[in-house]
Amino acid sequence: MAKPTADERDGPGERAEANRENSRMEFLLTLKRRGIGDRAVLRAMDEVPRDRFVEPAFTDSAYVDQALPIACGQTISQPYVVAYMTEQLGLRPQHKVLEIGTGSGYQAAVLSRLVREVVSIERYRTLADRAKETLASLGYDNVTVIAGDGFAGAPDRAPFDRIIVTAAAEQPPPALLEQLATDGVMLIPLGPQNGPQNIVRLTKSLTGTVRETLIPVRFVPLLPGRALEL
């Protein structure tokens, strides 16, 4: 009688776990091939389990380099974009970071591996509560999630060394620029909802703000106020 193969011996759970691990390895190789070179960023991307932040129906696609739908009509960003924006922030361990647009909490989780503190604002209470639960379950205790208005930021916790906005606006919200520390950096997708958008890096100094256009992207729009739906 022929011996069973490894696939035949393993149950569905073991095969799924093996496939997920292979996907994670390919996931990191994809990031490197696309130009992500910061070792600390790559380590953070490796440490944070993206499959814990996606909807259950998309678990098998968690490590594919694509955006995926989440609740409230929002998305979890493409891994390359998460890694790219994280790298372009130039993070240091002592930094305090403000994130606008918590979504699933995935970007906040990656940031939490690299900095002292992350404050993340989400307009949808449903998403904010889910993100809190997921982050707490993974032990990421240096992230504070607030249900509120991203345009207003978190003035009571300012200034921030870095600000990252994960939804597109036509112009940088003035309140966020005010909350950015001198020599601080903000990354924000700018452009119309149905038109071309680009990630823009704003570096604040005593004499003004330097603006750099980076890569084209497509993000959901940044909306003012807190969502009425819970």
Please give the positions annotated as active site: 77
193-199, Cβ contacts within 8 angstroms, sequence gap of 24 or more: 193/168, 193/221, 197/168, 199/84, 199/85, 199/88
Angle at which helices 79-88 and 39-47 pack, to 10 degrees?
Answer: 140
Q: Smallest Cα–Cα separation from 218: which of 81, 112, 65, 96?
A: 81
CA distances from 103 to 12, 100, 207 (A): 31, 9, 34
Are 84 and 37 in contact, with CB atoms under 8 Å apart? Answer: no
Q: How many other CB atoms are found less than 10 A from the CB of residue 35? A: 10
Instruction: Report the C-alpha gap between 70 and 76 in whole angstroms.
Output: 6
